[in-house]
């Protein structure tokens, strides 16, 4: 087995660690044992990163589109070459099966290749004016970006946070989650090795509240890109208001899945169960609330329970594992609390609802049904391996339930009725919707939510434009 790498920050191209800095223990979620000690930034480190980002922006905003494209496609090629090494690091830190980590690497590869093309298609426009006058609209990079990425996609999240600013001509200070630092550092290294100037992208770690207050309070930073919970997102929006920052906020969800009697139920079950337990349910677009038409409710629920029981849970590094442990100690605790309260309120537990073993953070694939709508789990993002399955009368009631919560990230629907597919696509309040499919992303597609799930998009042309501002130039 490859060893876990030593940990550091990268500030102005220098690997920074030691020097009496505080540290954070990075833990293996399979065993609970410490993999490595991560150095945490002190205020002087953050000031140095800010000063460097200021210089980095001055360099990179002048880079030609072809130079930026060369770095992005170079990083994509290196990621692909290092797929196995990076995937193993992510699985060691986060726990997900190796197969899922490998897919994450390839998602970055696809995204960096797409951005390499997209950054060469940032066109302005010329407006129609009388002779002697000229007006043009330019897109310019917004400036240094503070980017905060969570632990659930240790490779994909930092990839998104780095790729878009680099494509747009910005500099970026990345603070990836302290729980999964080595994956983020491995992604960043691909950019350096592809020729990115060291001032353009840096990595810091720290006490999250200290880092975000310090960076967002600096006049150097011009944009915040955050992925994480709605609660923290709202807090960071308030901090960002002080310096009127551009923001991209990818926040929590509570993915509704509408399953109608006219759908291919076996296909819906196979797809939804795979989607539900991917990364142990710790996915912002995880299918969560199954809103099932009452005439197929029992068949759907029983099919779900049967499939959930068959999932092989284990060490993500071992062949055949379909679901690893949860990523950190907080998650099984949250599962126990949410599932316990739902049961007290009368929900039926079909399977799971308990931890597995007494080592690491394993939790059984779980199914709850007939859950009262006032149970916390029906209103808070569970972010874990639990499906919530309730019966509903018909389309109108099902759409109302899908739109009941303030979240609006991903939604899914299963129906063979073409007219209904169109109605659902219009009526459901979400940033993304999968119809007879749970594939709702792609390098070329905008990824993001509405309502309390945030605003702005990552990926797609929208991801690059989110790191740019417009300027109107009028010549007379
Ligand atoms: P959390 O809400 O404290 O942290 C979520 C993420 O935000 C972490 O990566 C953390 O490092 C970061 N963070 C926290 N406080 C911050 C601050 N002041 N400044 C900058 N970054 C900060 O808690 P958690 O236990 O890690 O996760 C709990 C919940 O967060 C989950 O239940 C889920 O709802 C949500 N979450 C969402 C995503 C997502 O992809 N949208 C990812 C991870 C967690």
Give me the chain's average pLDDT, please.
Answer: 97
CATH of the domain at 324: 3.40.309.10
Stretch 247-254: mean pLDDT: 98
pTM of the model: 0.97
Report whether residue 288 contacts ligand 1, using a CB cutoff of 6 Å: no
Single out the residue of 239, 169, 172, 159 nearest to residue 204, CA to CA.
Answer: 172
Could you tell which of 203, 211, 228 is best to mutate to test the pocket of ligand 1, judged by most ligand atoms within 8 Å of the CB? 228
Q: Contact at 8 Å (CB) between 387 and 286?
A: no
Q: Does an H or E element contain 38, and which?
A: strand 34-39
The tens digit of pLDDT for each residue in 330-344 reads: 999 999 999 999 999
| 184 and 279 fall within a common domain | no
CATH of the domain at 94: 3.40.605.10
Report whether residue 150 contacts ligand 1, using a CB cutoff of 6 Å: yes
250 CA closest ligand 1 atom index: 41
Cα separation values, 162 from 114, 174, 180, Å: 14, 7, 16
Taking 60 as the threshold, does the pLDDT of residue 167 lie above it? yes
| 226 and 297 fall within a common domain | no
Taking 90 as the threshold, does the pLDDT of residue 206 lie above it? yes
| 107 and 29 fall within a common domain | yes
Place of tokens 């007494």: 358
pLDDT band with cut points at 50, 70 and 90 for residue 466: very high
Single out the residue of 160, 190, 186, 156 nearest to residue 172, CA to CA.
Answer: 160
Stretch 45-60: mean pLDDT: 98
Taking 70 as the threshold, does the pLDDT of residue 230 lie above it? yes
How many angstroms separate the CA atoms of 298 and 254, rounded? Answer: 22
Residue whose CA is closest, atom 37 of ligand 1?
Answer: 228
pLDDT in the model for residue 340:
98
Ordered strands of the 454-455 beta sheet: 14-16, 9-11, 201-203, 172-176, 145-149, 223-227, 246-250, 454-455
Backbone angles phi, psi at 410, to 5 degrees: -115, 145
- Count of structural domains within the chain: 2
Residues forming the active site: 250, 284
| 234 and 359 fall within a common domain | no
The answer as to whether 2 is a domain residue is no
The answer as to whether 4 is a domain residue is no
Cα separation values, 296 from 16, 80, 260, Å: 58, 44, 8
| 115 and 185 fall within a common domain | yes
pLDDT band with cut points at 50, 70 and 90 for residue 2: low
pLDDT band with cut points at 50, 70 and 90 for residue 177: very high
Report whether residue 452 contacts ligand 1, using a CB cutoff of 6 Å: no
| 192 and 280 fall within a common domain | no
| 89 and 17 fall within a common domain | yes
| 154 and 132 fall within a common domain | yes
Q: Does an H or E element contain 148, and which?
A: strand 145-149
The answer as to whether 96 is a domain residue is yes
Report whether residue 252 contacts ligand 1, using a CB cutoff of 6 Å: yes
Percentage of residues of the chain with pLDDT beyond 90: 99
Which residues, 6+ apart, have CB-to-CB distance to 41 below 8 Å?
Answer: 9, 21, 49, 204, 205, 206, 210, 211
The answer as to whether 1 is a domain residue is no
The answer as to whether 368 is a domain residue is yes
| 144 and 292 fall within a common domain | no
Which letter does DSSP use for residue 458 in this model?
A: B
Q: Contact at 8 Å (CB) between 33 and 27?
A: yes
**Which two structure tokens, joined as six digits, stand for 184?**
């983020």
Query: Range of 92's domain?
Result: 9-251+453-475
The answer as to whether 139 is a domain residue is yes
| 285 and 307 fall within a common domain | yes
381 CA closest ligand 1 atom index: 34
| 184 and 288 fall within a common domain | no
End-to-end CA distance of the chain: 67
* Cα–ligand 1 centroid distance for 151 (angstroms): 8
Taking 70 as the threshold, does the pLDDT of residue 14 lie above it? yes
| 58 and 189 fall within a common domain | yes
The answer as to whether 102 is a domain residue is yes
* Cα–ligand 1 centroid distance for 364 (angstroms): 23
The answer as to whether 365 is a domain residue is yes
* Cα–ligand 1 centroid distance for 233 (angstroms): 9
Report whether residue 232 contacts ligand 1, using a CB cutoff of 6 Å: yes
Taking 60 as the threshold, does the pLDDT of residue 187 lie above it? yes
Could you tell which of 232, 240, 363, 386 is best to mutate to test the pocket of ligand 1, judged by most ligand atoms within 8 Å of the CB? 232
pLDDT in the model for residue 87:
98
Report whether residue 284 contacts ligand 1, using a CB cutoff of 6 Å: yes
The tens digit of pLDDT for each residue in 389-444 reads: 999 999 999 999 999 999 999 999 999 999 999 999 999 999 999 999 999 999 99
């Amino acid at each position: 087995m490859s060893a876990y790498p030593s940990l550091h920050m990268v500030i102005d191209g220098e690997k920074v660690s030691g020097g009496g800095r505080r540290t954070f223990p990075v833990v293996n979620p399979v065993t609970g044992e410490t993999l490595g000690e991560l150095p945490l930034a002190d205020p002087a480190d953050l000031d140095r990163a800010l000063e460097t980002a200021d210089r980095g922006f001055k360099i990179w905003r002048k880079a030609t589109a072809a130079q930026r494209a060369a770095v992005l496609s170079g990083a994509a090629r290196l990621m692909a070459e290092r797929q196995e090494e990076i995937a193993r690091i992510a699985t060691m830190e986060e726990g997900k099966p190796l197969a899922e980590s490998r897919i994450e690497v390839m998602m970055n590869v696809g995204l960096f290749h797409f951005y390499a093309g997209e950054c060469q298609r940032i066109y302005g426009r010329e407006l129609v004016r009388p002779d002697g006058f000229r007006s043009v609209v330019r897109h310019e990079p917004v400036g240094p970006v503070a980017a905060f990425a969570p632990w659930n996609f240790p490779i994909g999240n930092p990839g998104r946070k780095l790729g878009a600013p680099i494509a747009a001509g910005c500099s970026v200070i990345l603070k990836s989650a302290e729980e999964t630092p080595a994956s983020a550092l491995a992604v960043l290294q691909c950019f350096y090795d592809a020729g990115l100037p060291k001032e353009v992208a840096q990595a810091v770690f720290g006490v999250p509240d200290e880092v975000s207050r310090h960076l967002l309070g600096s006049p150097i930073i011009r944009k915040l890109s955050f992925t994480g919970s709605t609660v923290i997102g709202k807090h960071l929006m308030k901090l960002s208001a002080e310096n009127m920052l551009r923001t991209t906020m990818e926040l929590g969800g509570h993915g509704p899945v509408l399953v109608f009697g006219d759908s291919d139920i076996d296909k819906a079950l196979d797809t939804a169960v795979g989607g539900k337990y991917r990364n142990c349910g710790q996915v912002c677009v995880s299918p969560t609330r199954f809103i099932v038409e009452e005439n197929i409710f029992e068949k759907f629920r029983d099919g779900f329970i049967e499939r959930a029981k068959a999932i092989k849970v284990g060490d993500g590094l071992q062949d055949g594992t379909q679901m690893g442990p949860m990523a950190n100690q907080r998650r099984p605790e949250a599962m126990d609390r949410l599932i316990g309260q739902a049961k007290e309120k009368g929900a039926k537990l079909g399977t799971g609802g308990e931890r597995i073993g007494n080592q690491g953070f394993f939790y059984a694939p779980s199914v709850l049904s007939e859950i009262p709508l006032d149970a916390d789990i029906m209103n808070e993002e569970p972010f874990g391996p639990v499906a919530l399955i309730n019966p509903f009368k018909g389309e109108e009631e099902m759409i109302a339930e899908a739109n009941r919560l303030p979240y609006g990230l991903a939604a899914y629907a299963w129906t063979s009725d073409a007219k209904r597919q169109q109605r659902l696509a219009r009526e459901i309040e979400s940033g993304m919707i999968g119809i007879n499919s749970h594939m709702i992303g792609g390098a070329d597609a905008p990824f993001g939510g509405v309502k309390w799930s945030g605003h702005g998009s990552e990926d797609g042309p929208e991801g690059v434009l989110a790191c740019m501002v417009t300027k109107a130039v009028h010549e007379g």
